[in-house]
Amino acid sequence: MQPLQNAATDSPLTSLEARRQERLKALGADCALFRELIGKVGSGEHTSSGLSRQEAREAIELMLKGQIEAAQMGAFLIAHRIRRPEPQELTGMLDGYRSLGPILTTPGRRALCFGVPYDGRSRTAPVLPLLALTLAAAGIPVVLHGGNPMPVKYGITLAELFAALGIEWRGLPLAAVQDRLDDHGLALTHQPDHFQAAERLVLIRDLIGKRPPVASLELLWTPHQGQRLLVSGFVHPPTETRAWEALAAAGETELLTVKGLEGSTDLPTTRAGITARVRRGAVERILLHPRDHGISAAEIPWTGLEDWQRDAQSALRGEGPLAEALLWNLGAYLWLADHHDDLPTALEQARALLQARSGARKCLELAP
């Protein structure tokens, strides 16, 4: 008589589960965990589920620390892009960036912190570096962050624009950036120098050929720690709504979202500027009409760094084709940041700052 078989031992399902567990063990704990996270975001329109805030933090930290394979990172980023990140996922990713990224401070002073696309500008001439210099000259600390030319656009970067004005941020230790913020009220952290963990993702971003959710995260994160007004650019209304929700959950109480040129925070001069001011959870939509304030200059196209350098230096003196755009942005941000009770008064101060060449002098202070 044959001995009875152990049904549990011989079950095909049990055998498959054993193989699965063996394979997961071979992958290692981090890669196995990340595989489960990929499954949650990449299972299709009807079966995928969003990550919790903690899971999203775990995912971004595993990527930043280089603890998973490049193939897994690419799969996660493209799947997450297709499904679109949910607010709590952005909050979790923001937690990871805050934990592992560089930190700058402005004790006793409220900073203006700008979040703009890392892949830069390619169609219109940027105003933000000139705005930042002039705001700093007016005694308002400004904190920026950026990197090298980034996929998929490879546009001109903030670091390249400042270098054209004689101000170099690349290659500086973070302590030197903090010193500039303390002494001159202006700082730019440069990702390859100050956030090398995030630089690990650049090759993957290049290979997948699409902006991943990290691109949205860069608009919401700032290296600044302390009292601030965060200014975040956006293109599509759903992006703005997600930003409000994600940042509220992250404890960001002071926020300005701006539908600027090419997703930046540069206010247009040829159409109404669409902005929203968020104070302690209350959202106020603010439309800025440049023609109501005598602003009618055309948007200046991007034609190269040499042309921009010439026009930027002129604008800091209140002259040239970029001067009116700088005036409009400077006045608007002085008002939106609560330094004046009304926009006309803020524009008057902006004119006075440009006439005094305050931004040009600040540029000379920071240039070697």
Distance, in Å, from the CA atom of 368 to the CA atom of 167, rounded to the nearest integer, reads 7
Mark whether 40 and 119 lie in a shared domain: no
Domain edge (last residue) among 100, 127, 144: 100
Mark whether 284 and 356 lie in a shared domain: yes
Question: For position 368, what pLDDT does the model report?
Answer: 78
pTM for the whole structure: 0.92
Domain edge (last residue) among 43, 73, 100: 100
Mark whether 187 and 266 lie in a shared domain: yes
Does 10 reside within a domain? no
**What pLDDT, in 10s, does the model give residues 255-314?**
999 999 999 999 999 999 999 999 988 999 999 999 999 999 999 999 999 999 999 999
Mark whether 78 and 190 lie in a shared domain: no
Residues 6+ apart with CB under 8 A from 107: 226
Distance, in Å, from the CA atom of 287 to the CA atom of 118, rounded to the nearest integer, reads 26
Mark whether 180 and 62 lie in a shared domain: no
Does 13 reside within a domain? no
Question: For position 4, what pLDDT does the model report?
Answer: 45
Mark whether 249 and 212 lie in a shared domain: yes
Mark whether 189 and 90 lie in a shared domain: no
Distance, in Å, from the CA atom of 97 to the CA atom of 144, rounded to the nearest integer, reads 15
Counted residue by residue, the chain has a size of 368
Does 250 reside within a domain? yes
**What pLDDT, in 10s, does the model give residues 205-244?**
999 999 999 999 999 999 999 999 999 999 988 999 999 9
**Number of other CB atoms surrounding residue 174 within 10 Å:** 17
Residue of 195, 246, 196 lying closest to 89 (CA atoms): 246
Domain that holds residue 297: 107-366
DSSP 144-159: EEE-SS-TTT--B-HH
Domain edge (last residue) among 66, 100, 134: 100
Does 8 reside within a domain? no
Mark whether 141 and 90 lie in a shared domain: no
**What pLDDT, in 10s, does the model give residues 18-55?**
776 776 666 788 998 999 999 999 876 666 678 999 99
Count of domains for the chain? 2
Mark whether 200 and 324 lie in a shared domain: yes
CA-based end-to-end distance of the chain: 95
Question: For position 309, what pLDDT does the model report?
Answer: 98
Distance, in Å, from the CA atom of 359 to the CA atom of 317, rounded to the nearest integer, reads 8
Mark whether 88 and 181 lie in a shared domain: no
Mark whether 133 and 73 lie in a shared domain: no
Mark whether 296 and 343 lie in a shared domain: yes
Does 30 reside within a domain? yes
CATH code at 80?
1.20.970.10
Question: For position 14, what pLDDT does the model report?
Answer: 75
What are the helix and strand counts (H, E) for the chain?
A: 18, 9
29-41 vs 70-83: helix crossing angle, rounded to 10: 20
Q: Which residue has the tokens 């499954």?
A: 39
